[in-house]
Amino acid sequence: MLAVVPVRGMRGGKTRLSAMFDEEERVALTGAMLRTVLDALSGAVGVAGVGVVTPDSAVALAFPALEDRVELVRQPPDAVGLNQALNVGRAWALERGATAMLALSADLPLLTPTDVEAFVAASAPLVFAPDRHGCGTNAVLLRLDGPYAPAANAFTFGFGERSFPRHLAEADRLGLPVAVVKTNGTAFDLDFPDDWAMLPVDLRRQLLRSPQISAEATLCRA
C-alpha cells in the first residue's frame, strides 16, 4: 500500500482560523499537522511509501529531511485543486505498482499509526473515513488490484462540502463494496476555532512548537 497526502501549500491555508492565528502561525500549524500525518504513516505497518502531492516547492523546503519512504510528488499547474491532486497521486501509486492507495488529509492532528493500520486491515475494495460530523471525508482507500480494480481506477474523487455522501453515491454508481473506518485520529480534522477548542492543551503544545505561537491561545470569534 502507498499513501498519498495532498498539500495545497504552506501558505494561504487554514483561513477559518485567521481570527486566532496570523499567517505565520497558520504556516507553523500546517507544518506541524503535516508532520503528525507523515509520522503516523511512516510508523504504520503495511504502508510501503508516502507521496506528498503539492504544487508548492516550499513544502520541500519546510521538510528538507523527509524520511526515505516519503516522496514529494509535483502537482502540475493544469491539475488544480484537491481532487486533481488525488488523481495525480493515484497515477503516482499506479506507476509504482501499488496494490492499494490510501489518501489522507494533511490536517489530522490526532492521527496515529494504529489509525492508519485500521485501513490496512480493511478488506473492502473501497474504504472511507468520514469526519466526526459524518459530512466530510478525511481518508479514502482504493484497492488498485483484483476484480474491482477497473472501478477503483475510475472512481471520481469528490472532495468539498458534504463529500462523504457524495463519495458513497460514487461507490454505488460503480458497484464498489464499501467499508467505513471510524477512529478518533481519522475523524478529527482541524478547520474551525471550535475544533481547536476541543484539543487538550498538551496537544496544542506539541502542535504549536513555534515560539511565535501560544499553546494557550483562546477562542476568538469574528
182-215 pLDDT, tens digit each: 999 999 988 777 888 888 888 887 777 743 333 3
Which band of pLDDT confidence, cut at 50, 70 and 90, is reported for residue 113?
A: very high
Residues of the chain with pLDDT > 70: what percent?
84
Q: Which parts of the chain are beta strand (E)?
A: 2-6, 49-54, 70-74, 100-104, 126-130, 137-143, 178-180
User: What pLDDT is attached to residue 61?
Assistant: 63
Average pLDDT over residues 123-141: 95
Which band of pLDDT confidence, cut at 50, 70 and 90, is reported for residue 11?
A: low
Nearest to 187 by CA among 102, 120, 84, 104: 104
Which band of pLDDT confidence, cut at 50, 70 and 90, is reported for residue 216?
A: very low
Which band of pLDDT confidence, cut at 50, 70 and 90, is reported for residue 175?
A: very high
* Residue 84 phi, psi (nearest 5): -70, -35
131 or 209, which is more confident?
131
* Residue 101 phi, psi (nearest 5): -130, 130
User: What pLDDT is attached to residue 217?
Assistant: 36
Q: Evaluate if residue 138 carries a pLDDT over 70.
A: yes
Q: Evaluate if residue 133 carries a pLDDT over 50.
A: yes
Note the pTM of the prediction, 2 decimals: 0.86
Average pLDDT over residues 144-150: 95
Sign for the CA dihedral angle at 1, 133, 162, 147 comes to: positive
Lowest mean pLDDT among 23-27, 101-105, 181-185, 211-215: 211-215
Alpha-carbon distances of 52 from 1, 67, 85, 115, 146, rounded to whole Å: 15, 12, 10, 19, 26
Task: Report whether 80 contacts 33 (CB < 8 A).
Answer: no
User: What pLDDT is attached to residue 215?
Assistant: 38
Q: Evaluate if residue 13 carries a pLDDT over 70.
A: no
Which one of 3.40.50.300, 3.90.550.10, 3.40.630.30, 3.20.20.70 gives the CATH number of domain 2-207? 3.90.550.10
- Give the gyration radius of the chain's Cα atoms: 17
- Calculate the average pLDDT of the chain: 85
Give CA–CA dist 207/203, Å, rounded.
Answer: 6
Task: Report whether 45 contacts 117 (CB < 8 A).
Answer: yes
